[in-house]
Chain A
Amino acid sequence: MATTNAPELLTTQFATPEEGRSLFDAAARRELGMSGEEFIRRWDQGEFRDALNGPEHVKLMRLVMLMPFGRQDA
């Protein structure tokens, strides 16, 4: 087993608003084939509530968890 105990990359990393929106946009396109902006708009309109109990549940939950990245203000 090739293991090491160094180096440790523990520099602080907070996403800037642009980085956060880019992260969430990439996730929304990866999971559901739509932009992050479109997902947040449709989520806020309650469009995905029923889908949370369906086969897309796991993908939707990944996006729900990442949504704070996409909601960062400029």
Chain B
Amino acid sequence: LAGRTPERAVEEILDVFRRVALCITDRPVLASGYRPSSASHSLSFAPRGEPVLLASDGRRRRIGLFFSHLFRLVAVGPGSADRWRVRSAGYVFDALDPDGREILTYHWHPEAAGPDYAHLHLSGRLAPLDAGQGFEPVALGEPHLPTERITFAAIVRLLITEFRIAPQRSDWAVGLDQADRAERRIWID
């Protein structure tokens, strides 16, 4: 995604993330800034970056969603009318129970400690699996399970289709498909 100014480039990606969020919540998405810098900027839910609590139809299930997405602004060559692009630099997507305990956590944080590949953490509350008599049990909550890079749109689709979170828009499926494609355009390296 690109723009003639840094501000416009960030507005483009903010618009995509907002459209995704609007499929499940009215909570706005906020950016930490748009000035080009060697440091990353961040997106998260306004006003305090806290998880948004979502409900299924009939409110029989509640899931908290935390997200934050890091990005940088990159100057494009002089031949382009759009001079600034947003480049993805990391993300965290957490599905939480109503008490804030992790259910699933999708991470990609190549600039922080730990693995630089995208990965999934299962809940640390899962009981270790019996791996056979005389062998150590397997703790499913500990490993970094490798994944492809995942989009915010894919996470929201997961919440709607698999966790039965009630969508706020009847055209959520089309909107999330479009947003998924737009998000992938900021995965330039």
| Residues 21-74 of A contacting B (Cβ, < 8 Å) | 22-24, 26-27, 30, 49, 52-53, 55, 57-58, 61-62, 64-69, 71-72
A16 to chain B, nearest CB (A): 9
Given A9-B18, A13-B28, A52-B113, answer yes or no on A69-B42 (Cβ-Cβ < 8 Å): yes
User: Could you give 5 example pairs across A and B, Cβ below 8 Å?
Assistant: A13-B29, A14-B31, A15-B31, A49-B113, A62-B94
* Distance in angstroms between the alpha carbons of A52 and B115 in the assembled complex: 11
- Say whether chain A's binding surface is mostly helix, strand, loop, or mixed: helix
B55 to chain A, nearest CB (A): 12
Contacts of B31 in A (CB 8 A): 13-15
Identity of the chain A residue whose Cβ is nearest the Cβ of B46 in the assembled complex? A13
Q: How many residues of B contact A (CB 8 A)?
A: 51
B75 to chain A, nearest CB (A): 19
Contacts of B70 in A (CB 8 A): 65, 68
Given A23-B30, A30-B50, A58-B121, answer yes or no on A64-B109 (Cβ-Cβ < 8 Å): yes
A42 to chain B, nearest CB (A): 15
Given A14-B31, A27-B49, answer yes or no on A3-B26 (Cβ-Cβ < 8 Å): no
A31 to chain B, nearest CB (A): 9
